[in-house]
Structure 1
Amino acid sequence: MGSFSIWHWLIVLVVVLLLFGRGKIPELMGDVAKGIKSFKKGMGDDEAAPETKTVENKSEEAKDRS
């Protein structure tokens, strides 16, 4: 069971083509590529985002002191 013969691969290829059709496989690969690119872009946007600082409300502190 370690190695498959050419007949095993041909049968698998025929089954895949029957399930997905000739045009569907490239379309699926294109969708996968778009998803990967989108994911990488999202990860890059997270790293490039500037750090935000919180601003405390000074008027609340002034009211507490009076």
Structure 2
Amino acid sequence: MGIFDWKHWIVILIVVVLVFGTKRLKNLGSDLGETIKGFRKAMNTEDEKTETPAPASTTEQLHQPQTIDAQAQKVEEPARKD
């Protein structure tokens, strides 16, 4: 038997319908469907953005090593007067 018995699921379904009503369940189902559609659409547009290759000049500039030309200088601190 256990929780996966079909009789238990029927009782749970009847209790849920009695508590929430069919109108709320219908709205909940449509809201859930819209949410899933929006998620899929967002995932598809994200995939399209990542599949678009970047221009060649931009990728070449990103992979070029850069050096910083600087010269170190010693800074002397003034003597303290105690």
**TM-score w.r.t. length of structure 2:** 0.50
Q: 2:18 corresponds to which residue?
A: 18
1:30-49 to 2 correspondence within 5 Å? 30-49=30-49
Q: Which has the higher helix share?
A: 1
List 4+ stretches of structure 1 deviating above 3 A. 2-5, 50-56
Unaligned runs of 5+ in 2: 62-68, 70-82
Q: CA RMSD, aligned part only? A: 2.5
Which has the bigger relative contact order, CA under 8 A and spacing at least 6? 2
AA of the residue aligned to 2:16: V
Q: Percent identity?
A: 33
Q: CA deviation at 1:14?
A: 2.2
Q: CA deviation at 1:4?
A: 3.9
